[in-house]
């Protein structure tokens, strides 16, 4: 799923292998006289004009911009902030948190995931398990020797203000409801639900009404985002094909689990029509997000990896052509999200973590 448990894939498969040496990229300006150095930018990361680290400990991910690009909401499980599992935090665009703690805008109860701003810039949507249990639920990572994600049927989607007060509950169907994101048009929310018995995409109005099912093929469809004009959806899917794969998928789902190690990207119109697969790379291709042009997709993938890592960011045209590698790390880069004005890219990375397992937030100044 979109949320932070996916970071554990690396650590479940291999030991941490981060370099403690910072890598330096030197890029000469057009007049060949000015050299710009940024120790957080790795060699060949030519689309990053500059980069800034935002968090400095714990697992931090899924930073999403307000509609005016002035703030971001993100999730963290940083123990130093008194957390046992993921909660939601607010930051101004220029802030960073080396020695201070950002304001928490979830309840602090249960586990939360996938927050996203509403168009008024004063409210967010996010999923939480707190109605079922105020404690953090257990996180199973392996089943029959294979890596799995939990799909908690206690997740529901809520609206909250920026002081952390829940103002509305948008879903109350039995089963998993989570992974909500909002259309740039400001009129629709897309989310993943098991209400049909399978993990499918749905859309609804901002008040939770007018729910429509978007996908209807067996398999996990999730992590969906709208295109900049709101006309299309990009998402990841792990769709079983063989009889053995189908049985395994159904058996795991019945236990509230999915296996995320084989996923490809799909695109469709916002109503579900014209569904097309745009990657066929193998391994895990996920956390897709539209380039500001609407003609390309950024995503995270380990398709070049032999042992489950590294995950790097890639860019591909919406027709599946012109695959290009964007980041060049040795462990983990994921969750790329463009600001609405297209000037900045927020993402999560293991870079500059001093050899620990910390995953931090970074904001890069983007250049095409």
- Percent of the chain at pLDDT > 70 equals 90
Characterize the bridge pairing of strands 87-92 and 71-76: antiparallel
108-138 burial, b at 16+ Cβ within 10 Å, e below that, comes to eebbbbbbbbbbeeebbbbbbbbbeeeebbe
State residue 306's pLDDT score: 83
Q: Which of 229, 300, 238 is nearest to 264 (CA)?
A: 238
* DSSP string across 156-214: EEEEEETTS-EEEE---SSS-EEEEEE-TTSSEEEEEE-TTSS-EEEEEETTS-S-EE-
Q: Helices (DSSP H) in 65-133: which residue ranges?
A: none
Count CA within 13 A, CB hemisphere, residue 321. Answer: 2
∠ at Cα 321 (199, 305), nearest 5°?
65
Domain 4-313+324-335+347-366: which CATH number of 3.40.630.10, 2.120.10.30, 2.40.50.140, 2.60.40.1730: 2.120.10.30
* Prediction pTM value: 0.90
- Please report, rounded to a whole number, the percentage of residues in the chain having pLDDT higher than 90: 84
Strand partners, 35: 28
State the pairing for strand pair 264-269/276-277: antiparallel
Q: Summarize the confidence of residues 81-108 as an average pLDDT.
A: 96
pLDDT > 80? residue 17? no
pLDDT band at 143 (very low <50, low <70, confident <90, very high): confident
Q: Where are the domains of the chain?
A: 4-313+324-335+347-366
Q: pLDDT by residue (tens digit) across 57-79? A: 999 999 999 999 999 999 999 99
Q: How many residues does the chain have?
A: 368
pLDDT on residue 308: 80
The pLDDT of residue 22 is: 31
pLDDT at 7: 42
Q: What is the pLDDT of residues 157-179, one digit of tens each?
A: 999 999 999 999 999 999 999 99
Report which of 321, 83, 323 is spatially closest to residue 312, judged by C-alpha positions: 323
DSSP string across 341-361: TSSEEEEEE-TTSTTSS-BEE
The mean pLDDT value for 326-349 works out to: 97
Q: Is 130 helix (H, G, I), strand (E, B) or coil?
A: coil
Of residues 9 and 326, more confidence is placed in: 326
Read off the tokens for 149: 């994600």
């Amino acid at each position: 799923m979109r949320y932070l448990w996916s970071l554990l894939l690396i650590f479940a498969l291999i030991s941490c292998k981060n370099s403690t040496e910072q890598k330096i990229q030197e890029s000469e300006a057009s007049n060949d006289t000015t050299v710009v150095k940024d120790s957080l930018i790795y060699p060949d990361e030519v689309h990053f004009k500059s980069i800034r680290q935002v968090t400095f400990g714990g697992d931090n991910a899924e930073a999403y911009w307000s509609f005016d690009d002035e703030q971001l909401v993100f999730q963290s499980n940083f123990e130093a902030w008194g957390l046992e599992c993921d909660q939601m935090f607010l930051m101004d665009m220029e802030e960073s948190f080396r020695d201070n703690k950002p304001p928490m805008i979830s309840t602090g109860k249960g586990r939360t995931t996938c927050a996203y701003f509403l168009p008024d810039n004063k409210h967010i949507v996010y999923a939480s398990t707190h109605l079922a249990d105020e404690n953090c639920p257990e996180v199973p990572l392996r089943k029959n020797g294979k890596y799995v994600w939990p799909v908690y049927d206690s997740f529901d989607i809520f609206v909250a203000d920026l002081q952390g007060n829940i103002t509305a509950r948008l879903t109350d169907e039995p089963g998993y409801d989570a992974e909500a994101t909002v259309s740039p048009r400001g009129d629709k929310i897309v989310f993943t639900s098991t209400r049909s018995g399978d993990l499918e995409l749905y859309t609804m109005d901002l008040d939770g009404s007018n729910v429509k099912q978007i996908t209807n093929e067996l398999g996990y469809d999730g992590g969906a985002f709208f295109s900049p004009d709101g006309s299309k959806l990009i998402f990841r899917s792990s769709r079983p094909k063989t009889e053995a794969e189908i049985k395994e998928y159904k058996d795991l789902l019945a236990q509230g689990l999915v296996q995320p190690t084989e996923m490809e990207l799909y695109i469709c119109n916002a109503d579900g029509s014209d569904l097309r697969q745009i990657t066929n790379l193998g391994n895990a291709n996920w956390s897709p997000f539209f380039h500001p042009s609407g003609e390309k997709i950024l995503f995270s993938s380990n398709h070049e990896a032999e042992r489950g890592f590294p995950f790097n960011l890639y860019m591909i045209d919406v027709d599946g052509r012109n695959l290009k590698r964007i980041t060049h790390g040795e462990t983990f880069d994921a969750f790329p999200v463009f600001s609405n004005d297209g000037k900045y890219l927020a993402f999560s990375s293991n870079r500059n973590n001093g050899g620990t397992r910390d995953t931090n937030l970074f904001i890069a100044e983007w250049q095409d």
